[in-house]
């Protein structure tokens, strides 16, 4: 499910992820990529709302807001060794 | 210089991608074990449809959903910035598989950026060019 929160407080991604573990979220209004601080705009708690999350983040970007999808769902973004079929 | 802190022994990069004058920030896991840089298409633009990519080179790659393979299409990005480091025009691999929700920066992109890490400092540092890296090292 997607929840649009539009929070006012500036936080780090780590602080947001402590409040919303196992979720992906839209992080907005950051300016310094070396020292990320921004606001939480929306939270998605499952992959079923991932496309909706992407569409919202894309729209914010098109409107001129710095917007990035961060975080990982319950499986923790587990990535195995990348293999190519047929190679 | 662009620096990223390790969180839970993992590095996540904020990539800035520009396609058709649209700019996107997309976070991706920095994975030196991956040959290819892979993104879910909707993270770049929900308007990109799989039918639009049918004529593009494709591969089947695993490592995202257990041992399952997902289809990826080679997609041109007008400009890719790796954090604050502009790499210009790049090709990445896009998937429309709904089960893939993690993006990966692989060695095809990683090898284009000079990088430095210092033991136990929990930080990866990336440099626009080698001279910048040398200057930084000389200042340590």
Domains of chain B: 2-138 (2.40.70.10)
Instruction: For an interface test with B, give the residue of A35, A61, A84, A87 to mutate (most B CBs within 10 A).
Output: A84
Spatial CA neighbour of B62 closest among B108, B9, B99 = B99
Q: Do residues B46 and A55 lie in contact, with contact meaning Cβ atoms separated by under 8 Å?
A: yes
Q: Do A79 and B64 touch (CB under 8 A)?
A: yes
Residues of chain A predicted below pLDDT 70: 75-78
- Show the tokens assigned to B62: 């695993």
What are the residues whose beta carbons fall under 8 Å from the beta carbon of A83, sequence distance 6 or more? B61, B62, B63, B69
CB contact residues (below 8 A), chain A span 26-85, against chain B: 33-34, 36, 47, 50-51, 54-55, 57-58, 61-62, 66-70, 72-73, 77-85
Indicate the burial class of B119 (C-beta count within 10 angstroms; 0-12, 13-18, 19 or more): exposed
pLDDT tens digits, residue range B65-96? 777 899 999 999 999 998 889 999 999 999 99
Asked if the model's pLDDT at residue B63 lies above 90, the reply is no
A12 touches chain B (CB under 8 A): no
> Do the Cβ atoms of B26 and A69 come within 8 Å?
yes
For residue A75, the model assigns a pLDDT of 63
Alpha helices in chain B (DSSP H): 41-44, 107-110, 130-138
Query: Can you read off the two tokens belonging to residue B108?
Result: 């095809």
Q: Give me B27's structure tokens.
A: 């976070």
| Closest alpha carbon to B93 in B116, B71, B78, B123 | B71
Phi/psi at A60 (5° precision): -60, -40
CA distance A55 to chain B (A): 6
pLDDT at residue number B130: 92
CB-based contacts of A64, cutoff 8 Å, min separation 6:
none
Residue B12, Cβ neighbours under 10 Å: how many? 22
The three-point CA angle A73-B66-B91 to 5° equals 80
Could A81 and B33 be called an inter-chain contact, meaning their C-beta atoms sit closer than 8 Å?
A: yes
Shortest Cα–Cα distance, B75 to chain A (Å): 17
Distance in Å, alpha carbon of B17 to nearest chain A alpha carbon = 11
**% of chain A residues with pLDDT over 70:** 95
CB contact under 8 A, B60 and A86: yes
Which residues of B are less than 8 Å from A36 in CB distance?
14
pLDDT score, position A76: 57
Question: What is the distance between the alpha carbons of residues A74 and A21, in angstroms, rounded to a whole number?
Answer: 8
> How large a percentage of chain A has pLDDT more than 90?
75
């Amino acid at each position: 499910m997607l929840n649009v929160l539009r929070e006012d407080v500036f936080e780090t991604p780590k602080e947001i992820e402590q409040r919303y573990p196992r979720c992906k979220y839209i992080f907005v209004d950051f300016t310094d990529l070396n020292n990320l601080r921004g606001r939480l705009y929306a939270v998605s708690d499952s992959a079923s709302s991932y496309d909706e999350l992407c569409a919202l983040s894309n729209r914010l970007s098109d409107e001129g807001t710095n917007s990035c999808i961060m975080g990982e769902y319950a499986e923790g973004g587990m990535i195995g060794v990348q293999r190519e079929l047929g190679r | 210089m662009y620096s990223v802190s390790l969180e839970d022994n993992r590095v996540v990069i904020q990539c800035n991608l520009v396609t058709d004058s649209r700019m996107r920030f997309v976070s991706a896991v920095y994975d030196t074990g991956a040959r290819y840089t892979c993104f879910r298409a909707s993270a770049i633009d929900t308007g990109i449809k799989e039918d639009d990519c049918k004529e593009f080179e494709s591969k089947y790659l695993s490592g995202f959903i257990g041992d399952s393979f997902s289809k990826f299409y080679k997609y041109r990005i007008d400009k890719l910035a790796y954090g604050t480091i502009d790499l210009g025009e790049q090709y990445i691999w896009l998937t429309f598989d709904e089960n893939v929700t993690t993006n990966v920066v692989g060695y095809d992109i990683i090898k284009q950026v000079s990088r430095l890490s210092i033991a136990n400092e929990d930080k990866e540092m990336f440099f626009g060019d080698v001279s910048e890296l040398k200057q930084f090292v000389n200042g340590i």
